[in-house]
Structure 1
């Protein structure tokens, strides 16, 4: 890949080993990034996840694979859920006296940015962003916990094997 004329200018960044190794820090980052990109970006998800993983030092293959959380079977359910979440949050926000979320969306270009980014109406786009944030944070912590549990189990098995070898001698 380093010799390819299109990749050569930035090959030193793309081919860093930390982006391709499965470590306790890069894998949860990759999962969280893949969740955000998979939920919010409706097109070229693998490309965006791969490019963004360079900036946050996330595992590139994990980020790319996690974008498959949205597929033709899950996307309609996700969009219905996003509409319901967005309408509930904006309805609760409208019932408050200040309505900070509605005011911020209406008085800035956030409404246009959300609709352009997701290709959805304001309520659905807002719901998609909320779901993406919550699911990425949750998936980061679940993956991190699962990684630590897996490593602890491997270490415990290694210690038991060493103890059994010592007793056998």
Structure 2
């Protein structure tokens, strides 16, 4: 059976749900789980092109966090979201650096250094913002699930 776009979309949604549940039911303190998810989300959004797992494992040597949550959080970047994350990162970088240099898809490699610089600046901002949101949202959900938060 040939995979269709719908089947691929359903498989990605299934993986997102599984990774969310791994974070939701992870063991450890709410801070460790949220920090792991935030670190994974940071490397997932930052254009590491598949190295997010390795970078999360390397960071685990220096910072104490839930590694399962980090690996699950890195799944924020997948074939559906990666193009949008790259475009958003580039737009944010172009806004910060105040550059109006449009990307010419036919000759993009001629401006690779400038495009890369703009992308890295934007990706850093977008990754940090995403990781803060993921940290506080994850911590809130974990504390709510465990009944630690009394509103």
SS state at 1:42 partner: coil
RMSD after superposition: 2.5
User: Could you list the runs of 4 or more consecutive aligned residues of structure 1 that deviate by over 6 angstroms after TM superposition?
Assistant: none
1:43 positional shift: 2.9
* Match in the other structure for 1:64: 71
Judging changes above 3 Å, is the alpha-carbon distance between structure 1 residues 122 and 148 closer, same or farther for their aligned structure 2 residues?
same
TM-score under structure 1 normalisation? 0.58
Give aligned pairs, total.
111
Judging changes above 3 Å, is the alpha-carbon distance between structure 1 residues 49 and 154 closer, same or farther for their aligned structure 2 residues?
same
* Match in the other structure for 1:77: 84
- d(CA) in 1 for partners of 2:61, 2:146: 25
TM-score under structure 2 normalisation? 0.65
- d(CA) in 2 for partners of 1:59, 1:153: 19
Please tell me whether the aligned partners of residues 43 and 74 of structure 2 are also in contact (alpha carbons under 8 angstroms): yes
1:126 is the counterpart of 2:121: yes
- d(CA) in 2 for partners of 1:44, 1:127: 19
Please tell me whether the aligned partners of residues 35 and 132 of structure 1 are also in contact (alpha carbons under 8 angstroms): yes
Decide which structure has the larger Cα Rg and report it. 1
1:31 positional shift: 0.7
More helix by share: 1
Judging changes above 3 Å, is the alpha-carbon distance between structure 1 residues 154 and 138 closer, same or farther for their aligned structure 2 residues?
closer
| Higher RCO (Cα < 8 Å, 6 or more apart) | 2
- d(CA) in 1 for partners of 2:148, 2:39: 27
